[in-house]
Copies of this chain bind each other. A is one copy, B any other.
Amino acid sequence: MSETELSDPVETPESELDEDDRLKADFVRAVLDAVEEGDGEAAREKVEPLHPADIADLIELTPGEQRPALVAAIGDLIDGEVLTEMNDWVRDALVESLDPKQIAGMAAELDTDDAVAIIEDLGEAGQRAVLRALDPDNRAAIEEALSYPEESAGRLMQRELIAVPEHWTVGDVIDYLRGDEELTTDFWEIFVVDPGHHPLGTCHLSWILRAPRSVLVGDVMKREQTLIPVDMDQEEVALRFQKYALISAAVVDGGGRLVGMITADDVVHIISQEAGEDALLMSGAGEGDINEPILDSYRARVRWLIANLATALVAATVITLFEGTISRMVALAALMPIVAGVGGNAGTQTMAVTVRALATNQLTESNTLRAIRREITIALLNGSTVAVVIGTAVALYYHHPALGAVIATAMMTNILIAGLAGVVVPLTLERLRADPAVASSVFVTMTTDSMGFFVFLGLATVSGLVG
Contacts and interface: CB of A to CB of B under 8 A. Distances in A.
Interface residues of A, number: 146
A225 to B, nearest CB: 7
A359 interface: yes
A13 to B, nearest CB: 10
A251 to B, nearest CB: 16
Interface in A185-217: 185-188, 204-212
B247 A188 contact: yes
Contacts of A53: 243-245
Contacts of A316: 334-335, 337-338
Label chain A's interface by main secondary structure: helix
A283 B349 contact: yes
The number of times this chain is found in the oligomer is 2
30 contacts: A6-B207, A10-B224, A18-B364, A21-B240, A22-B361, A53-B245, A85-B243, A177-B206, A178-B210, A188-B247, A205-B209, A209-B209, A242-B269, A268-B268, A271-B271, A276-B359, A276-B360, A280-B356, A284-B345, A285-B349, A290-B353, A295-B381, A305-B345, A305-B382, A308-B342, A309-B386, A312-B342, A313-B338, A320-B334, A323-B333
A129 interface: no
A327 interface: yes
Given A206-B185, A282-B279, A288-B356, A61 B367 contact: yes
A340 B353 CA distance: 25
B309 A389 contact: yes
A309 B338 contact: yes
A27 B346 CA distance: 34
Given A21-B361, A53-B243, A323-B330, A366 B29 contact: yes
Contacts of A243: 21, 53, 85
A333 B326 contact: yes
Interface string A309-325: 10011011101100100
Interface in A281-296: 282-285, 288-291, 294-295
A77 to B, nearest CB: 16
B294 A352 contact: no
Interface in A50-97: 51, 53, 60-61, 63, 85, 87
B61 A378 contact: no
Contacts of A242: 268-269, 272
Given A345-B284, A449-B337, A364 B247 contact: no
A263 interface: yes
A114 to B, nearest CB: 10
A179 B267 CA distance: 35
A91 to B, nearest CB: 14
A446 to B, nearest CB: 10
A302 B271 contact: no
A370 interface: yes
A206 B205 contact: yes
A206 B187 contact: yes
Nearest to A180: B210
B61 A366 contact: yes
Contacts of A374: 290, 294, 297
A174 interface: yes
Contacts of A355: 279
A133 interface: no
B304 A345 contact: yes
A224 B393 contact: no
Best-surrounded residue of A243, A298, A374 (most CB of chain B within 10 A): A243
A25 B364 contact: yes
A268 B271 contact: yes
Nearest to A338: B312
Nearest to A323: B330
Nearest to A188: B188
A226 B54 CA distance: 13
A220 B354 CA distance: 49
A270 to B, nearest CB: 10
